[in-house]
Amino acid sequence: MLRRMYDWCIDAAHKPYALWILGIVSFAESSFFPIPPDVMLIPMALARPNKAWLYAGICTITSVAGGVVGYLIGHLLYDSVGQWVIQFYGYGDKVEAFRAGYAEYGAWIILLKGLTPIPYKLVTITSGFAGYNIWMFIGLSIIARGARFYVVAILMNRYGVWIRETIEKHLGLVVTLALIGLIGGFVVAFKLF
């Protein structure tokens, strides 16, 4: 099953709808979807390393746009939709502490959490709920998300052949490590949030 999913993502890089799928996943991940765009970005950049920069740009733009939607959920709809998403991820009892932290450390929170596997939707929704300056939020999101996706682009562009061979040789191990990283991100978010 892992091989089929990986092969589908590799093949999708050559399809005309690839950028749309990547953009939709990246957009949704920043506001409500639990799966990070890296699951599409990495295989697509491996399939076409010369397009890695374009893929990182699409992820950055759509992730920030999705982040604005997450911000608006927190700002305008927190009592209904935003609170449901936060509760769904089990962070409801930590929102007030996180909100208080924004008064002093908002920029650092957005930058650091935007770079990590910690679910970014939690930052976007809470930023809106906390009333963080929308323009600062957008600027910091561009920096954090851009840095994250462009690091992937650099690695795939420079070492893509070696990375692809390694992934294909050890797909099960790579997916297991990625899942551990993703779960670790949720655990860290739960502890820090």
Tell me what pLDDT residue 182 has.
62
Q: How many CA within 13 A on the CB side of residue 114? A: 30
Q: What is the pTM of this model?
A: 0.77
Using a 10 angstrom Cβ sphere, with 0-12 exposed, 13-18 middle and 19 or more buried, the burial of residue 116 is middle
* Side chain identity at residue 56, one-letter code: A
Tell me what pLDDT residue 188 has.
61
Tell me what pLDDT residue 192 has.
53
Parse the chain into domains and list their residue ranges.
Answer: 2-192
> pLDDT tens, position by position, for the chain (193 residues)?
566 776 777 777 788 888 999 999 999 988 878 778 888 888 888 888 888 999 999 999 999 999 999 999 888 887 777 777 777 777 677 767 767 777 788 888 888 888 776 778 888 988 898 889 999 999 999 999 999 999 989 988 888 778 777 777 777 777 677 667 666 665 665 565 5
CB 106 within 8 A of CB 127: yes
Tell me what pLDDT residue 2 has.
62
Rounded to the nearest 5 degrees, what angle is found at the Cα of 113, between the Cα atoms of 110 and 117?
150
Structure tokens of 2? 């892992």
